[in-house]
Amino acid sequence: MGEVYKIAVLHAFALGIMAGLAQQLPKISQSIFDGLHIGFGYWEFHFYLTAGGFVPRSDNLTFKPAFLIREENGAPANINLNTLRLFYEGLPGLIEKYTLKTLEKYDDCFFRGKAKWIEKNIQDMNSIGMRLESVVLGLFFFLAVTETLAQTGIGTQSPDENAVLDVSSTTKGVLIPRLTEVQVTALEDNSPVEGMLVYNTDQGCVQIYTGSAFECLTVDTGVDPTKDAWVDDPANNMVKLGTLSDGTTIRPAGRGFVAYDDGNVGIGTEFPFSKLSVVDATGEGAYVPIADFLAPANAIAGNNTNLKLGVASSDRNSADIRFNYQGSNSDLNRLDFGFDGIGDPRMSIRAGGNVGIGTTAPTARLNVKPASASASGLRLENISNSKNKQDANIAYTSPNNSPMYIDGNGYVYKKFNPVLEHSGATSFDGTYNITNTPQDIVSVNNGSIVRFQMYSGGFELGSNGTGLNLYAEITYGYNSGFRVVTYGYEVGGTGSNPLVITGEGTQTLTFNFDSGGDLVLSATGIGSGGSIRMNYAAAPNFTPVVMNVFQSFRSR
């Protein structure tokens, strides 16, 4: 009965202490926190219902199982279950023993030397009840403070009412965890909470976890904190990259990167005159790479990699430059030129060198396929027929002329031309104005063989009213003289004007018309830089005769 009495007295005395704490706790705790420079905003009280029983185990040991139902304002209600072990010792000794040990235990980690100050406050109390009140206060403070603090201040006794934690100092700062880039990456893989803060020592910035990655917190101070050296240049309406990657070396001329306010971008130049200007002012050599547009993942036979040009992505309003992949290192890989909305390209160039117009499978260096059998496949306009054909620096002189032929399969080839096959050979095709004065049409040497065709093209030979249109094919050799292979003529009027050819086998050949002037061919100076000449034997005031010479050839 004595044991039960001791326990009942202790339990009732504890309830009395708790009732006293309800009145004294704000006052006593505020005194302690003032000494620690820790402030709280306001107190919120809560309601408890507790019950339990005693289970004696020995003269000096009793277990007390109990439960506690707690209701907190603004938080869910909860139930606590616990068991206490009660030791029977003198109350004064018990209080002194465990109070001082508790204070000494927390001296280093929390009170920072305040244990003696609290001990003095305990000694100043006038009764065991007050000493128990202080002890229970300490136990409540360290183990189960029943008050919820809405604001906490460190370095201030008046924390802001809108802050959960208010830290104030004029000489110190708050230090958050410092991690390397590798450590931050490892933390990202460990499912961090959104809003977590770290300091990245490699990037030199405070980072916040946004839910997918840690990102640096930046402040617009008007100064770029990174070392990429992007420079705002409002005077020239552009932003430019001012340094190399080290952030200090000035970017050399010809290696600039600028973006103008109008959208023009320059690489290698600070003066882009289009949406993208790429200039390599330092590259030299047979092949200087300027830009690469590659799609390695598209290396599937038949796939195209496109570059589009035009005004809109609609039928015939844009053109495509397409690379058609057929296989690694294949001669069948193609560069196609097509138009949007048209499946087949208009022109194709195979890696093997064949070019197709209207076909993607050219079998010759140039393979032209008309759209239909009735459509023309090739047309040449404004072809010159003058004696000295020349365009810019490309000379189309007669020795380079060869007739072109098309076989039954559509293949085009040239006819054999002795002028192109023999050194010293030449041609003298052209239009000549023949007058009374002999005119050189080709130079000849000993051993030269000459062949040509001539055609007057009009009824100018002979006399008025009986003018002739003449065609003839002529050969000449120093030993054989002039020979007429064939000829033909026609009178332009209703009359007749017989033609007699004289001088075959000699150095002078005459087309002798019965009426009017005669056409004369002569070879002079043979062996000493001679020539074949042509003149028209007529009255001095006779209109010059136009003579066309073609299919001409001189062997040496």
With cut-offs at 50, 70 and 90, classify the pLDDT of residue 476: very high
Is residue 21 over pLDDT 50? no
pLDDT value for 189: 92
Report the pLDDT value the prediction gives residue 471, as an integer from 0 to 100: 92
Long-range CB contact pairs, 343-351, < 8 A, 24+: 345/320, 348/324
Mean pLDDT of 227-247: 81
Residue 511, judged by CB atoms within 10 A of its CB (0-12, 13-18, 19+), counts as buried
What is the structure's pLDDT at 390? 54
For 38-71, b/e burial (b = at least 16 CB within 10 A) is: bbbbeeeeeeeeeebebeeeeeeebebeeeeebe
Q: What are residue 86's DSSP bridge partners?
A: 62
d(CA 317, CA 341): 9
- Measured between alpha carbons, how far is 301 from 323 in angstroms, rounded to an integer? 11
Query: Is-contact 34 157, C-beta < 8 A?
Result: yes
| Identity of the amino acid at 44 | E
% pLDDT > 70, the chain:
65
Please indicate whether residue 71 or residue 273 has the higher confidence score (pLDDT): 273
Residue 140: pLDDT over 80 = no
Residue with tokens 């022109």: 347
Cα distances from 354 to residues 273, 408, 437, 504, in angstroms, run: 36, 20, 53, 52
B/e letters for 274-312, b = 16+ CB within 10 Å, e = fewer, are: eeebebeeeeeeeeeeeeeeeeeeeeeeeebeeeeeeee
Residue 22 phi/psi, 5° resolution? -60, -30
Domain-by-domain residue ranges, the chain?
A: 55-87, 178-216, 230-278, 303-368, 431-554
* Helix residue ranges per DSSP H, 150-221: 181-188
Distance CA 154, CA 161 (A): 14
- Binned at pLDDT 50, 70 and 90, residue 188 comes out as very high
Q: Flag whether pLDDT at 103 surpasses 80.
A: no
Q: How many other C-beta atoms lie within 10 A of the C-beta of residue 267? A: 16
pLDDT-based confidence at residue 261 (cuts at 50, 70, 90): very high
Write down the mean pLDDT value for the chain.
Answer: 75
Element (H, E) at 81: strand 78-87
Percent of the chain with pLDDT over 90: 27
How far apart are alpha carbons 206 and 204 in whole angstroms?
7
Q: For the segment 290-333, what is each residue's pLDDT rounded down to a tens digit? A: 888 889 999 999 999 998 888 888 888 999 999 999 999 999 99
Compare 44 and 185 and report the one with higher pLDDT. Answer: 185
The tens digit of pLDDT for each residue in 310-321 reads 888 888 899 999
Residue-wise pLDDT tens digits, 402-458:
667 777 777 776 666 666 667 778 888 888 988 888 999 999 888 889 999 999 877
Q: Which helix (H) or strand (E) holds 91?
A: helix 91-105
> Is 135 strand, coil or helix?
helix
pLDDT at 72: 60
CB atoms within 10 A of CB 520: 18
Q: Looking at this protein, which amino acid is placed at residue 403?
A: P
pLDDT, residue 19, reads: 43
Predicted structure pTM score: 0.40
**Across 253-266, average pLDDT:** 90
Average pLDDT over residues 35-62: 64
For 57-70, what is the mean pLDDT? 72
Asked whether 159 and 153 are in contact (CB, 8 A), the reply is: yes
Residues 523-536 have a mean pLDDT of: 84
Strand pairing class (47-52; 178-179): unpaired
pLDDT at residue 247 greater than cutoff 50: yes
**pLDDT class of 501 with cuts at 50, 70, 90:** very high
Who has greater pLDDT, 383 or 319? 319
pLDDT band at residue 75 under the 50/70/90 scheme: low
485-502 exposure pattern, b = at least 16 Cβ within 10 A, e = fewer: eeeebebbeeeebebeee
Return d(Cα 442, Cα 432) in angstroms, integer.
12
Selected residue with higher pLDDT from 539 and 271: 271
The residue whose two tokens read 């799609």 is 295
Is the separation of the CB atoms in 512 and 486 below 8 Å? no
Beta pairing partners, 232: 239
Q: Are 549 and 429 in contact (CB under 8 A)?
A: yes
Examine the pLDDT at 136 and tell me if it is beyond 50: no
Q: Which 8-state DSSP code applies to residue 190?
A: T
Number of continuous H segments (helices) and E segments (strands) in the chain: 6, 38
Bridge partners for 78 per DSSP: 70
Nearest alpha-carbon partner for 298 in 321, 325, 322, 320: 325
Contacts of 254 (CB under 8 A, 6+ apart): 268, 269, 279, 280, 281, 282
Top pLDDT among 23 and 134 is at 23
Name the β-bridge partners of 87: 61
The residue among 248, 232, 252 whose CA lies nearest residue 240 is: 232
90 C-beta neighbours (distance < 10 Å), count: 9
Name the least confident of 25-34, 72-81, 82-91, 379-388: 25-34
